[in-house]
Amino acid sequence: MIDRDQVLHVARLARLELTEDELERMAGELSTILDHVERMNELDLDGVEPTSHVVALENVLRPDNPRPSWPREQVLESGPDPEGGAFRVPSPQA
């Protein structure tokens, strides 16, 4: 119920390169899982409010007090290709 082309489309959305082998396997595995998940369709959920968060909280505010952030060098150290105080990436443009 989810075919190879759909898997390929979703993989592109997820920025995930899949091998031919992974594509085939993923189609089967996702179909099995989605079959199970679709048992939810047995339920009558008309008029039921969706829950996105379980603790009743709204607009958690704090005073806007400036404070130092982490040292730039330390943060850059974690990146694979720091350069000139920034993260260098391959060109996004044609």
Partner 1 sequence: MSDILDLTAGQALDRIAAGELSNEEYFDAYAEAAAGDELGAYLWRAQAGSANGAGDGPLRGAPVAVKDIFCTEGIETTAGSRILEGYRPPYTATAVRKLAEAGGRVLGKTNMDEFAMGSSNENSAYGPVRNPWDRERVPGGSSGGSAAAVAGRLAPWAIGTDTGGSIRQPASLCGVVGFKPTYGAISRYGMIAFASSLDQCGPLTRDVMDAAILLRALEGRDPCDSTSVGIEGGVELPSRTDLKGLRIGVPRELSADAEGIETGVTEVFERTLGLIADLGAEVDECELPHSAHGLSAYYVLAPAEASANLSRYDGVRYGLRAGSEDGTAETALVSMYERTRAAGFGAEVKRRIMLGTYALSSGYYEAYYGRAQRVRTKIAEDFAAAFERFDYLVTPTSPTVAFKLGARAENPLAMYMSDYCTVPMPLAGLPAISIPAGLAQPDGGGPDLPVGLQITSPAFTESGLLGAAFAIEGAIGFDARPGGTG
Is residue 11 a contact point for partner 1 (CB under 8 A)?
A: yes
Minimum CB–partner distance for residue 80 and partner 1 (Å): 4
Q: Which amino acid is at 25?
A: R
Sign of CA dihedral 17, 23, 25, 26: positive
Q: Which of 3, 5, 24, 75 binds partner 1 (CB under 8 A)?
A: 75
Distance, in Å, from the CA atom of 64 to the CA atom of 68, rounded to the nearest integer, reads 13
Minimum CB–partner distance for residue 11 and partner 1 (Å): 7
DSSP 49: P
Find tokens 């505010």 and name the residue: 61
List contacts with partner 1 (CB under 8 A).
2, 6-7, 10-11, 13-19, 22, 26, 29-30, 32-34, 36-41, 43, 45, 48-55, 57, 60, 62, 70-71, 74-75, 77-81, 87, 89-94
